[in-house]
Chains A and B, each alone.
Chain A
């Protein structure tokens, strides 16, 4: 392709990205150290008040929320990985000639509104639920019994996060496993490795690119979102995102500071992705 002539098509995009990514990033950083009235700097001064509000050992409420948020996200991500990897592997290595259909099956849930799916899930997880009601007509029952309300809330949120973000774990892992050359596996077996060893020494290392992307694509939204947690706990569980939601109109400085906490995680993830997947091959 005629390199120099078409490359200029990318230039406006560079400007667009710098304006919509760069400027807000600088603003978030500055605003987290100020007390402003909205985005107006008139009469604002430098202060670490926002940071103290978060990292205060005298009042650890916010710190505890940070810990809870991390815990929810971590557990959901681990479960997604434990379920998603085998599922991706089964599809990629299945003898089905038409993997496209199975793949579409994985994507179809994404065309239902994710919040509505969680509303439906809340229904299913309630003691009296619509499935139970339907099944009772043919003499069956379907009801999950929880020990107490706290446990119910916790498990519901984990299930909600896992079911919502599972496709984001399956798809990138599927993409890389599908691309692994079969002859590599044959070579490994030919060189004396059995199936388990071949998986451990060849397939798994080669699928790390997809695993990394999958973990990031699940962990980040689980860590930073708040809607699913709020829906499934009927507003009783607070996560980092809830603090942002509660403050984004009145306390932009605190919101900026919370954003930085999330941004630190994101920067780490991007560095990892930039290392393992330069062309972004596993992101779509």
Chain B
């Protein structure tokens, strides 16, 4: 009986302490996630406002909601835009798509090249590759402007889409290279040799083996390149000549009222990108699950 009397005391002791810890722990957890959620919310607040503006009737002040409309969305989707905005959007997308394509293809080859260099040279190239990333955009912009000014002496029409394209490839390619290098480092060092061993010519070895194996890195690099290109202001500002991209267009109208279609365009573009990524993610997850199921069935 004496033992039994002691028992409850001991048990409550065992229960109480974890209880206190649990409460403190969950409060700490709550605060942690509240902190995270608060700043996430702050980052999203401007995007929320952009979305609202894309549905805001344009009769009235931009500081108030004048009524819901799909008009701006329709205008963007049918490309019924004021000509300077239309040109800015076309330029932005054209340059982004071309620059992404070019820098992805070239960046992949360059990354494979850098990876194959002996250690000392490789580190040198990796450092050089970081220059455009670490460099302030304004310096990159001015530097390229100087180069194009010299080139313009020989080829007068260089400022505009051509200069923008070269500039964008210049600052996008390093991101592609940098996304691919770690994927290459993860590869079995004999993978390329294995391709040659199995009757691939050198170029076929790269296309059939190396590139598929580093595909995730290439896609990441591509996405970063596109993101950087559509959002660029500073580098384009110094190298666009008479052309405007969307950032320059917005900057130029900073004290005026922006065409409401800008908000609609922005909302549509980011929605498309996000939906595209979600779709890609879902498809790859489904594929993975199917492969796993198959493996389990045959295990």
A and B touch in the complex (CB under 8 A): yes
Is A8 in contact with B113, judged by CB distance below 8 angstroms? Answer: yes
B249 → chain A closest CB, angstroms: 9
- Residue ID in chain A nearest B223 by CB atoms: A107
Q: How far is the CA of A163 from the CA of B177 in the complex (A)?
A: 28
Contacts of B277 in A (CB 8 A): 104
Q: A125-159, CB under 8 A of B: which get 1 and which 0?
A: 01011110110000000000000000000000000
Instruction: Give the contacting residue for A115; candidates B36, B196, B250; CB below 8 A.
Output: B250
Contacts of B196 in A (CB 8 A): 2
Is A227 in contact with B138, judged by CB distance below 8 angstroms? Answer: no
Q: How far is the CA of A128 from the CA of B64 in the complex (A)?
A: 8
Task: Tell me whether B244 is interfacial, beta carbon within 8 Å.
Answer: no
Is A113 in contact with B246, judged by CB distance below 8 angstroms? Answer: yes
Task: Tell me whether B79 is interfacial, beta carbon within 8 Å.
Answer: no
- Residue ID in chain A nearest B206 by CB atoms: A6
Task: Tell me whether A208 is interfacial, beta carbon within 8 Å.
Answer: no
- Residue ID in chain B nearest A272 by CB atoms: B134
Instruction: Give the contacting residue for A225; candidates B35, B116, B234, B266; CB below 8 A.
Output: B234
Q: A57-94, CB under 8 A of B: which get 1 and which 0?
A: 00000000000000000000000000100110011000
Q: How far is the CA of A51 from the CA of B75 in the complex (A)?
A: 50
Is B136 in contact with A129, judged by CB distance below 8 angstroms? Answer: no
Contacts of B45 in A (CB 8 A): 121, 124, 131
Q: How far is the CA of A114 from the CA of B246 in the complex (A)?
A: 11
Task: Tell me whether B269 is interfacial, beta carbon within 8 Å.
Answer: yes
Is A108 in contact with B274, judged by CB distance below 8 angstroms? Answer: yes
Stretch in A182-190, A197-205, A275-283 touching the partner: A275-283
Contacts of B246 in A (CB 8 A): 113
Interface centre among A115, A129, A217, A225 (most CB of B within 10 A): A115
Contacts of B258 in A (CB 8 A): 116, 119
Is A241 in contact with B138, judged by CB distance below 8 angstroms? Answer: yes
Is B118 in contact with A3, judged by CB distance below 8 angstroms? Answer: yes
Q: How far is the CA of A147 from the CA of B196 in the complex (A)?
A: 72
A31 → chain B closest CB, angstroms: 8
Interface centre among B133, B145, B230, B281 (most CB of A within 10 A): B133
- Residue ID in chain B nearest A38 by CB atoms: B149
Q: How far is the CA of A278 from the CA of B181 in the complex (A)?
A: 12
Given that A110-B231, A283-B178 are contacting pairs, would A163 and B254 also be in contact in the complex, using a CB cutoff of 8 Å?
no
| A231-283 interface (Cβ within 8 A of B) | 231, 234-235, 241, 244-245, 248, 255-256, 259, 262-263, 265-266, 269-270, 273-274, 278-281, 283
Contacts of A128 in B (CB 8 A): 63-64
| B39-79 interface (Cβ within 8 A of A) | 39-40, 42-47, 49-50, 52-53, 56, 62-65
Task: Tell me whether A27 is interfacial, beta carbon within 8 Å.
Answer: yes
Q: How far is the CA of A266 from the CA of B182 in the complex (A)?
A: 25
Q: B102-129, CB under 8 A of A: which get 1 and which 0?
A: 0000100110111111100101011111
Given that A1-B189, A25-B143, A114-B233 are contacting pairs, would A283 and B133 also be in contact in the complex, using a CB cutoff of 8 Å?
yes
A212 → chain B closest CB, angstroms: 11
- Residue ID in chain B nearest A123 by CB atoms: B49
- For chain B, which range describes its interface: under 10, 10 to 19, 20 to 34, or 35 or more residues? 35 or more
Given that A270-B130, A284-B178 are contacting pairs, would A20 and B170 also be in contact in the complex, using a CB cutoff of 8 Å?
yes
Q: B178-190, CB under 8 A of A: which get 1 and which 0?
A: 1101100101010
| A184-233 interface (Cβ within 8 A of B) | 216-217, 220-221, 223-227, 230-231
- Residue ID in chain B nearest A216 by CB atoms: B134
Is B46 in contact with A20, judged by CB distance below 8 angstroms? Answer: no
B231 → chain A closest CB, angstroms: 6
Task: Tell me whether B131 is interfacial, beta carbon within 8 Å.
Answer: yes
Q: How far is the CA of A8 from the CA of B115 in the complex (A)?
A: 11
B107 → chain A closest CB, angstroms: 9
Is B126 in contact with A259, judged by CB distance below 8 angstroms? Answer: no
Contacts of B133 in A (CB 8 A): 280, 283
Given that A20-B170, A115-B233 are contacting pairs, would A109 and B149 also be in contact in the complex, using a CB cutoff of 8 Å?
no
B183 → chain A closest CB, angstroms: 11
Residue ranges of B at the interface with A (Cβ–Cβ < 8 Å)? 32-33, 35-36, 39-40, 42-47, 49-50, 52-53, 56, 62-65, 106, 109-110, 112-118, 121, 123, 125-139, 142-147, 149-150, 170, 173, 175, 177-179, 181-182, 185, 187, 189, 191-193, 196, 202, 206, 220-221, 224, 227, 230-231, 233-234, 237-238, 246-247, 250-251, 254-255, 258, 262-263, 266, 269-270, 273-274, 277, 281
Residue ranges of A at the interface with B (Cβ–Cβ < 8 Å)? 1-14, 16-17, 19-21, 23-25, 27-28, 38-39, 83, 86-87, 90-91, 100, 104-121, 123-124, 126, 128-131, 133-134, 163, 166-167, 216-217, 220-221, 223-227, 230-231, 234-235, 241, 244-245, 248, 255-256, 259, 262-263, 265-266, 269-270, 273-274, 278-281, 283-284
Further contacts, 12 of them, CB under 8 A, given A133-B65, A262-B138: A9-B112, A24-B146, A116-B258, A116-B262, A128-B63, A130-B56, A130-B63, A131-B45, A133-B64, A163-B43, A235-B254, A274-B127
